[in-house]
Amino acid sequence: ERFIEWEVSYTFPAIGLRTIFFNAQHIPDENNTRLILLALNDITLRTEAEKIQSHQNLIMILESVPQITFSATADGAFNYFNNFFLDYAGITLPGALERNWMDIINPAQLNDVSQSWSHSIKTLENFNKEFQLRRKSDGMYRWHICRATAIINDQGVVTSWVGSATDIDEQKVLEKAKDEFISIASHELKTPLTSAKAFLQIIEHSMQQKKSADLIYIKKAGAAIDRLTGLVVELLDVSKIQHGKLGMHIASFNFNKMLSEAIESVQISSTKHTILQTGQIRKEIKGDEQRLKQVIINLLSNAIKYSPEADKVFVNAELKNGIVKVSVKDTGIGISKKNLNKIFDRYYREDGRAVHFQGLGVGLSIVKEIIQRHNGKIWAESEPGSGSTFYFTLPV
């Protein structure tokens, strides 16, 4: 006893595929007989016109953007490139659609780009990739960051893909220059810091024997040297990562013992916070023990640093289905959701933190690299003002 309407696509033997709009309505009469009024309307032409208009509107938007834009069908076949791309690549639209667009990707990166694109089409995950495109005017390969997302209709069906590519070549050049400077500077700093630490230890030993009242200042100087050495070590690790030289020494080790040692190392230097551990990993795992200890220490140090008003940090470890899962939880200042996907980026520091908290913004990027080198995963959950929880998993 209600009005019903719906659309359906149907193939008629004589005229082919048509889009039919149905509506049905119950019409009561004097004898209470149930009558149904059914109306069918062929809206194929209207539907096709709407699709054409929608595509034309999309083309207008993509042409108005001063960077490379493109669209593709639901199965990933490219069906449009804007004039900005055609001018950059020096090809025509028919040529680009004939897959000639692949010719301008750096050949060394083409296979990786194709695999990532296929993965996005299959999983519907956003495409996000950095690679080089050859510019026609000078033949140079320039770095671009390419992003694409699936367009999904009201029925949850992917209808197309839309994306863009932004030139980041100058940014990449600056990053490379900065990395080279940091690599040289950190190597040059390491030797004098080691010497300064050794001299301080000699002086400290002498003052201890003389029971000098000034011993406390030597200890503070030593602690400052240790902090600076830690920063230099982080920068050296960043340099190694950039050059693919972050060594891993894989062997079986006692995970519980490593975790306890890492917690003890951080607890000694923290007088305000108590680190509470739950869970046990009653099995040896394979990995780089020292690098994984570095991960735990970094996460614990961050938890303490960013929860200045709290007095507890919580660590949990568990083993399930051959996967080790560790969490480090604090009740500190938290992280905004919009920045959660950026915190593992190199040199990233959330706005407002750099002034109040020490650090270079490289620790978490190193942690991420170590976990990924162990075929693991790392992520964070947080609410501003309610603290953060960092998780990582490792296959046994």
Residue 196 is predicted with a pLDDT of 87
The pLDDT, as a whole number, for residue 350 is: 63
Q: 318 exposed, middle or buried (CB, 10 Å; 0-12, 13-18, 19+)?
A: middle
- Please state the φ and ψ torsions of residue 233, each to the nearest 5 degrees: -60, -40
Burial of 70 (0-12, 13-18, 19+ CB in 10 A): buried
Helix ranges (H only) for the chain are 44-64, 83-89, 93-97, 107-123, 169-210, 215-242, 255-269, 289-305, 353-356, 363-373
Q: Per residue of the chain (396 residues), give pLDDT as tens.
A: 555 666 566 666 655 666 666 666 666 666 666 666 666 666 555 655 555 556 666 677 667 778 999 989 899 999 889 989 999 999 998 988 887 788 899 999 999 999 999 999 999 999 999 999 999 999 999 999 999 999 888 778 888 898 899 999 998 888 778 777 777 777 777 788 888 888 888 998 888 888 888 888 888 888 888 878 877 877 777 777 766 677 788 999 999 999 999 999 899 888 889 999 999 898 889 999 989 999 999 999 999 999 999 999 999 999 999 999 999 999 999 988 888 878 888 776 665 554 445 556 688 888 998 999 899 999 999 988 889 999 999 998
Q: Rounded to the nearest 5°, which phi and psi values hold at 271?
A: -90, -20
Report, in angstroms and rounded to the nearest whole number, the Rg of the chain calculated over CA atoms. 30
Polymer length of the chain: 396
Buried/exposed 265-295: b ≥16 CB within 10 Å, e otherwise: ebeeebeebebeeeeebeeebebbbebbbbb
4 CB neighbour count, 10 Å cutoff: 11
* Complete DSSP assignment for 194-218: HHHHHHHHHHHHHHHHHT-TTHHHH
DSSP annotation of 126 reads P
pTM: 0.55
SS3 9: strand
Q: Are 67 and 114 in contact (CB under 8 A)?
A: no
| Dist CA 96 CA 88 (whole Å) | 12
pLDDT for residue 366: 86
